[in-house]
Structure 1
Amino acid sequence: MRTRRLTAVLVAVAALVAGCGYAPTPLPAPPTPSAMSGGSTAAPSQAPQCDDALQSYAPQGAVPAPGRMPSGSTMKTIQDRGRLVAGVSADTYLFASRNPLSGRIEGFDIDLVDAVAAAIFGTAKGHVQLRVITAADRLPLLESGEVDVVVRTMTITCDRWTRIAFSGEYYRAGQKLLVKEGSDVTGLADLAGVRVCAPSGTSSLSTLRARAPQAVAVPAANHTGCLALFQQGEVDAITGDDTVLAGLAAQDPYATVVGDAFTAEPYGIGVNADRVDLVRFVNGVLETRRTDGSWTADYDRWLADTLGPAPKPPVLRYGRTR
């Protein structure tokens, strides 16, 4: 745990340095949309249905053996290229952040990228190109075909289904509270008069005000600003997605995440809307990880220390036809 907290501090320092003019080495030119023409490139003739945002495309049979992707498929195009191009974060601690000691981006989301690559190539080593992107980049880069997948704590919504496709749900996040160890606060009902920080302009802040009007809402520029106020004793709690709070708690030995989630934020892997075969393939990989223990092992590795024992992996829902 001490090593993880030291790494978290170094990650924060690295992020500050990156914000002071550091320019990463440019990535190789991404594939053009035409290079991804594996069997499902025709534009949908109708807008995607969205009676259920979590409903995705079912796998068709067993996942093909690594190195033997079906001719004409998107996976075969990726196999022939020699690498899976994935849009990821580099500063979401525990999900996808750059380890300043090794220089590698690592976390729960990165393990998912590696699993998809390994299913195509037999191993992820040497076959993954991580493209660090912002949240605003996610949909445009998928639409243009510049990345094959986006694995970046992205919530599945009907609105996003109008532009891209999603895998089934791979993680259920939700808004929770972070407090000092030993605090009497265990949920929304305990927030009367409690100073709670959330970033300005976020749904976390508006949800706090709507669901716990008895709390004293304290805005900050971002979650890092909230953590500074929390450590200075100027607020009593922080609220946000449990995935974010887990990263904050890992950086503060006296902080803990408490209570049940009071919103639902289902994360999915984003894929270009025309690559339905790749969505089905990814769902096959996710199903394997659900049943062989890989999902739980990754949760235990990255999240259990701050979020507690692993829940059951999300059950993927199917039935989408367009």
Structure 2
Amino acid sequence: MKKLIAASVAVLMTVTACGSGAYDATELPPKPQPPAVAAPAAPPKCPDTLNPVRSYSPEGASVSSPNVAAIKARGRLIAGVSADSLHLGSRNPISGAIEGFDIDMVKAVAKAIFGTDVGHLELRVISSPQRIPVLQDNQVDIVARNMTINCARWQQIAFSAEYYHSGQKTLVPRDSTATSTKDKQLDGKTICAPAGSTSLDNLQEENPNIKPITADTDTGCLVLFQSGRAYGISGDDTVLAGDAAQDPYAKVLPEKAFSAEPYGLGINIRKRDLVQFVNQVLEDIKANGEWAASYEKWLEPDLGKATAPAPVYGRR
């Protein structure tokens, strides 16, 4: 089957103030990787008494709280985002702006702090494995990069309340007759999943006979697929919908999602007041229709209708 071969484009731009919606971004270079070692054991599952999507109540949230006030004094909110996840966070080839559902979430936070996001939002392009380190090192204030909330990650960073509920599926060549990730036709096939993501563990659990391969970005997996080095891609349905939209020779398997992927905005674990403020922003945009308008624009055409997930609070 004839394949489309995608060119891999590396983007490295200097940081500039954002204006008129044309956001520039600085791509943070990946840190040198240590020699390969055996994969660590899967993290323990959450105890029944601790719901991973439980976040901090926005009660008392204020723009004058210490970490929110520090962002306001700096003059801009710094967000770690993707620039190659179509419909979530990707660079518009005409305007050069990074746009998508995830981007709308951080634009709403910047607007709540400054009154407008224009000129007050700095987007830094990061890879999937960089999402947690850039928060721990305070290189960014917030990460909006289709990141799943789970117990293991709560040990390293904090999360907002859930802002979207995704699930994992698998993308394959259009002429494949497989109907699910468990299908024996995929046994022995090389399937790509992003490094540093929950998708890799979920894939190996769903079909241990698949040969996994990783890439740091969504485009990296798509390039491996289009060049024939990967038979398919496994990941969130949001990401796969964007991949399929870019490749007429690909399709997403007609299976029920085999994982629950609640998305949260990542924040440094020591910045509880910022989490509370962001949770208030999410409540506001769910109530005033901004969340629904963003979903309708970016995700509904491929994924169908959806409602915003209800927040769960009570974390101490």
Same fold (TM over 0.5): yes
Of 248, 252, 255, 2:247 maps to 252
**Does the 8 Å contact 1:87/1:130 carry over to 2?**
yes
Q: Distance in 1 between matches of 2:291 and 2:101?
A: 9
Q: Distance in 2 between matches of 1:106 and 1:201?
A: 21
Which string of whole-angstrom CA distances, capped at 9 and with x for unpartnered residues, describes residues 144-191 of structure 1?
3332111112221222222221101112222113356697655456x2
Q: Does 1:228 align with 2:220?
A: no
Query: What residue in structure 2 maps to residue 24 of structure 1?
Result: 13
**Does the 8 Å contact 1:205/1:217 carry over to 2?**
no
Of 228, 239, 243, 2:234 maps to 239
Q: TM-score, normalised by structure 2?
A: 0.74
Query: What residue in structure 2 maps to residue 33 of structure 1?
Result: none
Question: What letter is aligned with 1:285?
Answer: V
**Does the 8 Å contact 1:171/1:268 carry over to 2?**
yes
SS at match of 2:264: strand
Of 77, 81, 100, 1:84 maps to 77
The structural deviation recorded for 1:138 is 2.5
Kindly tell me: are residues 273 and 99 of structure 1, through their superposed partners in 2, closer, same or farther at Cα, counting changes over 3 Å?
Answer: same
Query: What residue in structure 2 maps to residue 127 of structure 1?
Result: 120
Kindly tell me: are residues 124 and 26 of structure 1, through their superposed partners in 2, closer, same or farther at Cα, counting changes over 3 Å?
Answer: closer
Kindly tell me: are residues 161 and 111 of structure 1, through their superposed partners in 2, closer, same or farther at Cα, counting changes over 3 Å?
Answer: same
Which string of whole-angstrom CA distances, capped at 9 and with x for unpartnered residues, describes residues 197-254 of structure 1?
52279664664454346xx735455422453267x9x95x643221221121110235
Answer 1 or 2: which has greater helix percent: 1
Query: What residue in structure 2 maps to residue 149 of structure 1?
Result: 142
Q: Distance in 2 between matches of 1:285 and 1:206?
A: 32
Q: Does 1:277 align with 2:297?
A: no
Which string of whole-angstrom CA distances, capped at 9 and with x for unpartnered residues, describes residues 54-103 of structure 1?
11001115x66xxxx32x53222222221111111222222112222211
**Does the 8 Å contact 1:118/1:124 carry over to 2?**
yes
Q: Distance in 1 between matches of 2:155 and 2:89?
A: 26
Q: Distance in 2 between matches of 1:267 and 1:124?
A: 22
**Greater mean alpha carbon deviation, residues 78-87 or residues 288-297:** 288-297
Question: What letter is aligned with 1:170?
Answer: Y
Kindly tell me: are residues 60 and 310 of structure 1, through their superposed partners in 2, closer, same or farther at Cα, counting changes over 3 Å?
Answer: same
Of 263, 267, 272, 2:263 maps to 267
Query: What residue in structure 1 maps to residue 54 of structure 2?
Result: 55
Q: TM-score, normalised by structure 1?
A: 0.73
Kindly tell me: are residues 156 and 187 of structure 1, through their superposed partners in 2, closer, same or farther at Cα, counting changes over 3 Å?
Answer: same
Of 160, 164, 172, 2:157 maps to 164
The structural deviation recorded for 1:109 is 0.9
Structure 1: give runs of 5+ residues left out of the alignment.
Answer: 1-8, 31-48
Query: What residue in structure 2 maps to residue 108 of structure 1?
Result: 101
Q: Distance in 1 between matches of 2:202 and 2:140?
A: 33
**Greater mean alpha carbon deviation, residues 310-319 or residues 72-81:** 72-81
Kindly tell me: are residues 128 and 185 of structure 1, through their superposed partners in 2, closer, same or farther at Cα, counting changes over 3 Å?
Answer: same
Which string of whole-angstrom CA distances, capped at 9 and with x for unpartnered residues, describes residues 123-160 of structure 1?
11111011222333322322233321111122212222
Q: How many percent identity over aligned positions?
A: 46
Q: Distance in 2 between matches of 1:238 and 1:17?
A: 19
Kindly tell me: are residues 206 and 287 of structure 1, through their superposed partners in 2, closer, same or farther at Cα, counting changes over 3 Å?
Answer: closer
Question: What letter is aligned with 2:147?
Answer: M
Q: Distance in 1 between matches of 2:233 and 2:268?
A: 35
**Does the 8 Å contact 2:178/2:185 carry over to 1?**
no
Structure 2: give runs of 5+ residues left out of the alignment.
Answer: 18-25, 27-46, 216-220
**Does the 8 Å contact 2:194/2:200 carry over to 1?**
yes
The structural deviation recorded for 1:112 is 0.6
**Does the 8 Å contact 2:193/2:235 carry over to 1?**
no
Query: What residue in structure 1 maps to residue 310 of structure 2?
Result: 315
Query: What residue in structure 1 maps to residue 302 of structure 2?
Result: 306
Higher Rg: 1
